[in-house]
């Protein structure tokens, strides 16, 4: 799919407001451009703003629009924008008006994850997907996610610098779920066989577990497989 670069001053907001899907990836719209979209969100189903040089201020303006929606966005993708912990905190009170939130490499740490989870816990309907790939949330951030797992169907934590301590806390939450998670992706983290016992105790409550590119031995992999009722992917 070809991606065409545009400038915000050339955007006709009347045309934008008629779109169901708007993908402005790799355009330098910044905070000003993000703020311009706030009034148009009511007619959109998917908004993709990958690498658009948006910061926390732009996210705040977007969220003002999201909070007013009468029908949730299906997808909001803010990947590769440096929104940081402040932007994550701003997203928290508008999570009820989106189904999938994609936040690849947004400079979010454990503090931002904690704020996001405050919002997730209050949802009446679970998020379909929360994707935090390549945010360095570490064990502390993983622990913050544990009490809100019941309110998300798929959680993607690739390249998040999570180790055995974080996995243990996550698995404590997974074990308590009344309904299995559809997907948990812990690929490309710092997991070793020290994590396999925790995963073995909760994998029965995960329909699809992805743990590519970690440091398990064959014995560790076999332990996880032996307890799984769904699908496990190591590669």
Mean pLDDT of successive 10-residue segments in the chain (235 residues)? 43 58 96 92 94 97 95 97 98 97 98 98 97 98 98 98 98 97 98 97 98 97 97 94
Q: Is the dihedral of CA 68, 73, 79, 84 positive or negative?
A: positive
Predicted pLDDT at 5: 44
Rg (CA), the chain: 18
Q: What's the rounded Cα separation, in Å, for the pair 112 and 114?
A: 5
Listed residue (118, 159, 115) closest to 135, CA to CA? 159
- Phi, psi at residue 47, to the nearest 5°? -125, 115
Predicted pLDDT at 12: 54
CB atoms within 10 A of CB 16: 17
Predicted pLDDT at 17: 53
Predicted pLDDT at 8: 44
Taking the complete model, does pTM exceed 0.75, yes or no? yes
Predicted pLDDT at 15: 52
Question: Which pair of structure tokens corresponds to residue 78?
Answer: 């803010």
The kind and range of the H/E element at 100 are strand 98-102
180: left (phi over 0), alpha (psi -120 to 50) or beta: beta
First to last CA, the chain: 27
Listed residue (1, 13, 12, 21) closest to 38, CA to CA? 13
Predicted pLDDT at 18: 60
The kind and range of the H/E element at 130 are strand 127-131
Question: Which pair of structure tokens corresponds to residue 34?
Answer: 């993000």
Predicted pLDDT at 153: 98
Provide CB contacts within 8 A for 157, sequence distance 6+: 132, 133, 137, 142, 145, 184, 185, 186, 189
Provide CB contacts within 8 A for 11, sequence distance 6+: 33, 36
């Amino acid at each position: 799919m070809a991606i065409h670069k545009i400038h915000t001053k050339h955007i006709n907001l009347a045309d934008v407001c008629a779109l169901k899907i708007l993908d402005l990836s790799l355009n330098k719209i910044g905070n000003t451009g993000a703020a311009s979209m706030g009034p148009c969100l009511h007619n959109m189903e998917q908004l993709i703003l990958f690498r658009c040089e948006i910061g926390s201020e732009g996210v705040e303006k977007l969220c003002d629009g999201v909070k007013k929606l009468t029908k949730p966005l299906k997808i909001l993708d803010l990947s590769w924008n440096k929104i940081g912990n402040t932007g994550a905190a701003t997203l928290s009170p508008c999570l009820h008006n989106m189904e999938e939130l994609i936040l690849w490499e947004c400079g979010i740490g454990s503090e931002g994850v904690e704020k996001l989870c405050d919002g997730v816990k209050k949802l009446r309907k679970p998020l379909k997907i929360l994707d935090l790939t390549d945010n360095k949330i570490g064990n502390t951030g993983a622990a913050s996610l544990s009490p809100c797992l019941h309110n998300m169907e798929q959680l993607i934590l690739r390249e998040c610098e999570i180790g055995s301590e974080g996995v243990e806390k996550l698995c404590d939450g997974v074990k308590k779920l009344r309904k299995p998670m559809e997907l948990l992706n812990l690929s490309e983290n710092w997991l070793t066989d020290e994590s396999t016992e925790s995963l073995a105790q909760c994998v029965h409550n995960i329909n699809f577990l992805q743990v590519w590119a970690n440091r398990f031995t064959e014995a560790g992999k076999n332990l996880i497989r032996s307890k799984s009722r769904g699908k496990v992917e190591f590669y």
